[in-house]
Structure 1
Amino acid sequence: MTSPTWRVTLPVPPTDRAPQRLPGWAAVIPGVLSVVALVMSGVVPALLVAAVVPALWVTQGATAQLVGSRRQRRELDRFESELASAEAALLSCQTAERRELEAHFPRSSAAGASGRAATTGVLVLGRGRVASSVVVDGAEAQADPRATDRLRAVRRRAQTLDHGPLCVSASTPVLVIGPGVVARSVAAGLRRQLRGGTADPASLVRVTETVPRPAPPVGVVIVVRPDGTASVTSRDGVACDVALDVSFVSLADEA
């Protein structure tokens, strides 16, 4: 299956520029100018300089801080807007990805699932969390830890896809463990996919109500609970615990 490339571009992190402040040495400038005016012109000009220059300096400093604050606010607003767009794009990409996977790897209960594993070589166990193919572009923030955490969170969400098809090779022996009709209904769906293949579906997919001792040499063990929830508890002899959304097929389908 050739999939399209889904891409999401993260926004440029906000620039970490604090409001501008006057340097410390600026405080001595009014006094220096007053001394110069006193020496050159007398007392009155010196007093005027001493009064006017600090006011002008304070005004300039306040203006610089105001401009810096506004610039910082605009940067934050821009980042928030672009990050929201990136998150919406990720959701859209993963919805499209899930739809395409559903078409290529239908559930056991889907109309087109009968005999499909025999032609594709893939058995769909059910739905669960799988790797996502969405590509995320864009650099992470370096100076702003909050922006860094939020960008990383988007990257983490892009790595996996919920409710995607969990698949194994169609030649993999499967053991379904669970109560009566519930486990048999799940097994019936898996066998439905294997129809028309070279191997007998009943020999590849077996059912038991209790864990057999010793454990049989199977590739996958699925445990189905009475409430219908299920998990893959073993893969190729290695214990695991992977949540699985299984499909239930009428037992009459095997009659």
Structure 2
Amino acid sequence: MGKIIAIANQKGGVGKTTTSVNLAASLGVLEKKVLLIDVDPQANATSGLGIDVDAVEVGSYQVLEHTKSAKEAIVSSNAPNVDVIPAHIDLVAIEIELVDKEEREYMLKKALQDIKIDYDYVIMDCAPSLGLLTLNALTAADSVIIPIQCEYFALEGLGKLLNTVKSVQKIHNENLDIEGMLLTMFDSRLRLSNQVVEEVQKHFSDMVFDTIIQRNVRLSEAPSYGESIINYDVSSRGAANYLNLAKEIIKKNL
């Protein structure tokens, strides 16, 4: 039975999509069968694995609406062992369309019941907000990874996100775990980066992954070629970081 992991933080630019794409690709090369679900209207995870967003006819929007099954929305990607349920800009409308639906927070959970069994890991790239889309992802997930960038406002808004996780646990999904907090965009030359790492490890000790994602030019170049860092430059520091993260998650879930 596959483990469903949401990658969530309501702040933009913390490395959610980078983590979703490259963690999925890293798990794939470690011979795990992975499904990446793009639950962000910006659809960057979709294009990040070489899928033409404009050509998407069936994706996470139809899956959330229950007009198509999750199986019908799955496409293969250019990363080994990684399938994708892509997103399209029309996903923007879903929050308004679901607002009157009964059990609207459970639409994604219900849609994924049939396919969980086909994968080792299901990774969901969430939108940078705590709206209905992210709520659906957290309700459907077994756990959540929270990327935190090693910058000045890193911990701002974290309390709000943790409160959201708590209320999802209380109301919608009592089995939701925090898989871990992931420090991203780390630059060892900056005192601030090191301070953020110390601060996060001091406050959240066991909840923080050992792996830290360092700032890496190759990592920021890869999406413009529609490739994961594993395809784009497997010898880069970014690839090594994400492979380490994937190994850490596999070990944790043995």
TM-score (norm 1): 0.20
Q: TM-score, with normalisation over the residues of structure 2?
A: 0.20
Which has the bigger relative contact order, CA under 8 A and spacing at least 6? 2
Larger radius of gyration: 1
